Amino acid sequence: EATIEVTGLRKRFGQTMALDGMSFTVTPGQVTGFVGPNGAGKSTTMRVILGLDAADEGSALVNGRPYQSLRNPLGHIGALLDAAALQPSRTARNHLLWLAHSQGLTAKRVDEVIGLVGLESAARRKAGGYSLGMRQRLGIAAALLGDPPVLMLDEPVNGLDPEGIVWIRGFLRSLAAEGRAVLVSSHLMSELQDTAGHLVVVGRGRVIADTSVAALIAAA
């Protein structure tokens, strides 16, 4: 089954304990909100899951395996970390074609994901003219190229206009409704409470609360 399983991650940067026993699970069919103040360790956790940072201790598994051991990583997990660094003179479609080609995916799939994120009319324009909202859509299109059962997004609505925020929330819910596991971070609980069915609240590198939103509402 499609999952992310994080167990006992510890990670130190010099004197800073970025992760201090981080453990949680992301399950399919719902959006898991990863909430906590800036500096709580959300991005570091996501980077460890993607194999971009090494943990000092603990494990992070994607569909039961470490990211580095996945033979077809983009078919397992798609990620949107920081707003994509785009070569401004290239079109959005060319960015995706390049990525698809490097992963053995087709131009047909590129046009599918462009449609999924609603970038049809802009995809043949140079990315240099893209707004943040369009760059986020392009990043999400890239994450979806391999049709992965697991998606992970780090602060995807940061800096977006209200229309972009509404779109991303609805889109994440629809990805979860298709049965995917979706992990999305925010430093604001209010950004996630209507989107996530499951909340993992973190502070100082560890989980403070792990609950379904239904249980949270029932207890309030």
Q: Does 39 bind ligand ADP (CB under 6 A)?
A: yes
Q: What count of other Cβ atoms lies within 10 Å of the Cβ of residue 38?
A: 8
Contact 213, 190 (CB under 8 A): no
121: left (phi over 0), alpha (psi -120 to 50) or beta: alpha
26 binds ligand ADP (CB under 6 A): no
Burial level of 70, CB count in 10 A (0-12/13-18/19+)?
A: middle
- Residues 110-149 as x/- pattern, contact with ligand ADP by CB under 6 A: --------------------------------xx------
Least Å distance, CB 150 to ligand ADP, is 9
Among the residue ranges 43-51, 56-64, 122-130, 168-176, the one whose residues contact ligand ADP (CB under 6 A)? 43-51
Q: Smaller CB distance to ligand ADP: residue 209 or 214?
A: 209
Side chain identity at 12, as an amino acid letter? R
**Closest distance between ligand ADP and the C-beta of residue 79, in Å?**
4
Cβ nearer to ligand ADP, comparing 50 with 116: 50
- For 37, other C-beta atoms within 10 Å of its C-beta total 11
Q: CB-based contacts of 194: which residues, under 8 Å, 6+ apart?
A: 169
**If DSSP codes are grouped into helix, strand and coil, which group holds residue 78?**
strand
Site string for ligand ADP, 75-114 (x = CB under 6 A): --xxx-----------------------------------
- Find the binding residues for ligand ADP in span 160-199 (CB under 6 A): none
- 18 near ligand ADP (CB under 6 A): yes
The contacts of residue 161 (CB under 8 Å, 6+ apart) are: 133
β-bridge pairing 181-186 and 150-153: parallel
| Nearest approach, Cβ of residue 27 and ligand ADP (Å) | 19
CA distance 144 to 79: 8
Read off the tokens for 204. 């100082």
Tell the smallest beta-carbon distance from residue 38 to ligand ADP (Å). Answer: 4
Per rule CB under 6 A, is residue 36 in the interface with ligand ADP? Answer: yes
Residue number with CB closer to ligand ADP (73 or 156) = 73
Residues in contact with ligand ADP by the rule CB under 6 A: 13, 16, 18, 36, 38-44, 50, 52, 73-74, 77-79, 142-143
